């Protein structure tokens, strides 16, 4: 309790939810959306009474229990990607799955780099990162969890959330990781620019280095990143802590996380 007396907690996630037809591109729905069936206390009466071998009226209040059935992707909602998501090898070794990544990666000093000036389809360069750090008078090191703020989460629940956001360049990811960082997070649905914008750029240039470039930086680095953060505008840019432990999903390429900022109450 002493910890909570000194810190306020800020939820840095968006929920796992079933989108309506206007919220999401159908092409993305099968891999990134959730189908949630909600069962209330009345719905489960036959199930619960069957378990206990009793009559429905024997149940307390004549009620079963509330539960949900979920069909979704490990990349739905706020989640942590493992190196296995990027490629089968990372840093010259077999890529770690999410249950193999060290827990110490997922609690550390929070650093927010403000990239709200970036437009949809633009990429954050290494120089952009250096400039943001200089403005904060901050030097990155091992244990830092770097969060890129676009404010894309403000459009969550609309189609724009999925198709209108900036992304990181491979050079920006490499620069951050070269400072010893093991976790990078973004408040957009993807680490890279939207697929449609990458497709258009590739059609013009035929430069395959731009294909999933931020993710593919993980081929050379053993690290995790977080997608679909939220509320980065509600925390300071430094001087706080982040907890982002992923759910222990066996051999997963990713897993969900309730990412929480621990912000000193005097900030």
The CATH number that applies at residue 177 is: 3.50.30.50
Mean pLDDT, the chain, as a whole number?
94
pLDDT > 90 in the chain, percent: 88
pLDDT of residue 31: 64
pLDDT band at 146 (very low <50, low <70, confident <90, very high): very high
pTM of the model: 0.94
CB of 7 closer than 8 Å to CB of 267: no
The answer, yes or no, to whether residue 21 has pLDDT greater than 90, is no
Question: Within a domain: residue 79?
Answer: yes
> Which region among 21-25, 67-71, 145-149 has the lowest average model confidence (pLDDT)?
21-25
Q: What does the pLDDT read at residue 252?
A: 98
SS3 category, 240 = strand
State which of 25, 48, 71 marks the end of a domain.
Answer: 71
Domain-embedded: residue 41: yes
Which band of pLDDT confidence, cut at 50, 70 and 90, is reported for residue 29? low
On whether the CB atoms of residues 140 and 146 are closer than 8 A, the answer is yes
Residues 182 and 212 in one domain: yes
Q: Which residue has the higher pLDDT, 27 or 65?
A: 65
Q: Are residues 60 and 77 in the same domain?
A: no
- Taking the alpha carbons at both ends of the chain, their separation in whole angstroms is 19
Read off the pLDDT of each residue in 188-206 and give the average, rounded to a whole number: 95
Same domain assignment for residues 187 and 58: no
Is residue 22 domain-resident? no
Q: Give the residue with greater pLDDT, 54 vs 158.
A: 54
Residues above pLDDT 70, as percent of the chain: 96
* Residue 18 in domain: no
Model confidence at 98: pLDDT above 90: yes
Domain boundary among 71, 92, 127: 71
Question: Any bridge partners for residue 123, and if so which?
Answer: 167
Check whether residue 93 and residue 150 sit in a common domain.
yes
pLDDT, average across residues 125-133 = 98
Domain that holds residue 46: 34-71
Residue 236: what pLDDT? 98
Task: Answer with the one of 71, 99, 131 that is the final residue of a domain.
Answer: 71
Shared-domain flag, residues 47 and 152: no
Minimum mean pLDDT range among 3-17, 57-71, 134-148: 3-17
Contact between 12 and 232 (Cβ < 8 Å): yes
Is 10 inside a domain boundary?
Answer: no
Asked if 151 and 110 sit in the same domain, the reply is yes
Number of domains in the chain: 2
Residue 159: per-residue pLDDT: 85
Residue 51 lies in a domain: yes
Counting other chains too, the contacts that 33-36 makes at CB distance below 8 Å and 24 or more residues apart are 33/72, 33/73, 33/76, 34/70, 34/71, 34/72, 34/73, 34/76, 34/77, 35/70, 35/71, 35/72, 36/68, 36/69, 36/70, 36/72
């Amino acid at each position: 309790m002493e910890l909570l007396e000194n810190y306020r907690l800020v939820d840095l996630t968006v929920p796992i939810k079933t989108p309506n037809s206007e919220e999401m591109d159908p092409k993305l729905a099968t891999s990134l959306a959730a189908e949630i069936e909600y069962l209330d206390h009345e719905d489960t009466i036959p199930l619960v009474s069957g378990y206990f071998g009793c009559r429905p009226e024997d149940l307390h209040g004549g009620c079963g229990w509330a539960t949900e059935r979920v069909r979704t992707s490990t990349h739905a909602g706020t989640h942590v990607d493992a190196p296995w998501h990027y490629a089968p090898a990372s840093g010259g070794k077999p890529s770690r799955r999410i249950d193999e990544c060290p827990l110490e990666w997922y609690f550390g000093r929070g650093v927010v780099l403000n990239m709200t000036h970036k437009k949809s389809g633009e990429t954050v360069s290494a120089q952009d990162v250096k400039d943001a750090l200089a403005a904060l008078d901050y030097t990155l090191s091992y244990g830092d969890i770097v969060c890129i703020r676009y404010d894309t989460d403000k459009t969550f629940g609309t189609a724009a959330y999925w198709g209108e956001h900036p992304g990181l360049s491979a050079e920006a990811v490499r620069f951050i990781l070269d400072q010893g960082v093991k976790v990078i997070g973004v408040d957009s649905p993807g680490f890279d620019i939207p697929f449609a914008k990458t497709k258009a750029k590739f059609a013009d240039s035929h430069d395959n280095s731009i294909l999933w470039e931020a993710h593919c930086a993980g081929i050379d680095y053993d690290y995790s990143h977080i997608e679909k953060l939220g509320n980065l505008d509600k925390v300071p840019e430094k001087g706080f802590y982040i907890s982002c432990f992923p759910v222990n999903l066996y051999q997963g390429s990713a897993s969900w996380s309730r990412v929480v900022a621990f912000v000193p109450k005097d900030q």
